[in-house]
Structure 1
Amino acid sequence: MSAGAEVLVERDADSLAGAVADQLVSTLAALQAQGHIPSVVLTGGTIADKVHREVAERSGDRVDWSRVELFWGDERFVAADSSDRNEGQARRALLDHVDVDPARVHAMGADDGSGGLDAAADAYADVVRDRVFDIVMLGVGPDGHVASLFPGKPSLSVLDRDTIAEADSPKPPPARISLSFAALNRGREIWLLVSGDGKADAVARALRDGDLTETPAAGVRGTEQTLWMLDEGAASRLPPT
């Protein structure tokens, strides 16, 4: 198993979403009790949507959402109102239901016709420059990708920039902005949220210290904790403990 990684397995996607939501609320509340303004990197996808909805229901008054800095690990470079945007998904499920400070919600750029993909990626690099994130939440694809860092892509070797512009994603839409490994791995805690047996092979490869060029999820590690949060399907190819 990948050095230093911890694994939590829940029964199914709903149980997993509830466990992640509880842990996120507890962690944010604890950080705020210490006088800290937490910084969180959000992700997109089916399990993230479930997590966001559970967080909105469970946080109550335990978290002061006006004192949470929110970022994204990647974004589809499409129109701001496109249903493909991870930002839109997070807003509908979570941010529209809690009292966030708009100045602390750091969305990636959208394709508004005024600038290109490279410029939008550079602009977000300025936003996250030298930022240390408290929690980085990431999904994992069946091919082992995280954020928009895909197997075999040149972006996997980018270590001198905090963002990459991916113009030819193997998943539509093709134009993406993503944090690089350099930025992701400044996260104190990295949580990899994975549901479904279709991703079990990728999970097993990553946790066997797989080659990050083939399984990018193997290349993310938190400075304090790397936590794989799985349902039984996603964990089905792991050796028994």
Structure 2
Amino acid sequence: MAAPIISVSETDKLVAEKLCSFVVEKANKAIEQRGIFTVGFSGGSLVKYLCGGLPGRSTDWSKWRVFFCDERHVQYDSADCTYTPYKEGLVDKVNMNPDNIFPIDPSLSVSECADDYANKIRKVFPGDGLPQFDMLLLGMGPDGHTCSLFPGHPLLEEKEKIVAPISDSPKPPPARVTMTLPVVNNCRCAVFASCGEGKADMVQRVLEGGESPPLPAARVRPIDGELHWFLDAGAASKLKHKM
């Protein structure tokens, strides 16, 4: 199981630059080895980092297949939608084929939406086995949640579904769809990016706390892949062991 590889930069701007360089390096290697790059995006600060830093970098965008680690069950024009800022800030800027980014269908019920999203994933990862994404870019909330997997929630124990609905998210909006932990931990590379002193306590708890039961973000440990944390000095300030 992957031990975290921690990279600390002085500022969030440097974190974003290092993160985007890392993503493109992994993308180009995946394209060279397997012909496509399969990636899952998350919302929050990652939108700013990726949309600000990825356009203009050298990669074959036609080989990217972009999914979402989780998404709020809202219309595309909602401020809570994760897909739209990536569509406008990345896909449109690099002239990526819009068919290569996979949003949820918010016209469906949240349960049907999750099933439909699992089917979209299966079109790129055919068969019954767990899909293996090249990279999942993850966020971490102030309660230690990642994707839409919240502390103490039954979805943390989901073993059968690759995408699950949630209707009682403790963080609004309550209805969402999310990749499950078996999918997350089957990826080739899981990546967190956290910046700011406000994240320092939770970063320390997730990476060094050894809590039982572990917080959702601490349960991200790829079985046969890498785990990377990109932090600024503020977010890393309470860690005992830094790289």
- TM-score, shorter chain, exceeding 0.5: yes
Change (3 A) 1:36 1:211: farther
Per the alignment, residue 218 of structure 1 pairs with 218
Instruction: Verify the 8 A CA contact 1:8 1:230 in the aligned structure 2.
Output: yes
Matches for 1:34-49 after TM superposition, within 5 Å: 34=33, 36-49=35-48
Matches for 1:27-66 after TM superposition, within 5 Å: 27-34=26-33, 36-57=35-56, 59=57, 62-66=58-62
* 1:35 shift after superposition: 5.1
Distance 2:74 2:42 in 1: 16
Instruction: Verify the 8 A CA contact 2:156 2:181 in the aligned structure 1.
Output: yes
Instruction: Verify the 8 A CA contact 1:209 1:218 in the aligned structure 2.
Output: no
Instruction: Verify the 8 A CA contact 2:15 2:232 in the aligned structure 1.
Output: yes
Instruction: Verify the 8 A CA contact 1:10 1:231 in the aligned structure 2.
Output: yes
CA offset digits 1:205-241 (Å, max 9, x no partner): 2112644755100111222210111111111111044
Aligned-partner SS, 1:34: helix
Identity fraction in percent:
33
Does the alignment pair 1:98 with 2:94?
A: yes
Matches for 1:10-29 after TM superposition, within 5 Å: 10-29=9-28
Per the alignment, residue 122 of structure 1 pairs with 115
Distance 1:73 1:53 in 2: 20
Per the alignment, residue 108 of structure 1 pairs with 104
Aligned-partner SS, 1:118: helix
Instruction: Verify the 8 A CA contact 1:44 1:89 in the aligned structure 2.
Output: no
Aligned-partner SS, 1:41: strand
Change (3 A) 1:212 1:31: farther
Distance 1:101 1:95 in 2: 7
Change (3 A) 1:39 1:209: farther
Per the alignment, residue 81 of structure 1 pairs with 77
Distance 2:92 2:212 in 1: 36
Amino acid paired to 1:102: P
Per the alignment, residue 230 of structure 2 pairs with 229
Instruction: Verify the 8 A CA contact 2:169 2:175 in the aligned structure 1.
Output: yes
* 1:53 shift after superposition: 1.6
Give the ranges of 4+ consecutive aligned residues of structure 1 lying more than 3 Å apart after TM superposition: 209-214
Per the alignment, residue 239 of structure 1 pairs with 240
Distance 2:2 2:132 in 1: 21
- TM-score when scaled to structure 2? 0.90
Query: How many residue pairs get matched?
Result: 234
Matches for 1:141-220 after TM superposition, within 5 Å: 141-208=141-208, 210-211=210-211, 213=213, 215-220=215-220
Per the alignment, residue 63 of structure 2 pairs with 67
Change (3 A) 1:23 1:3: closer
Distance 1:212 1:126 in 2: 34
Query: Could you list the runs of 5+ residues in structure 1 that have no partner in the other structure?
Result: none
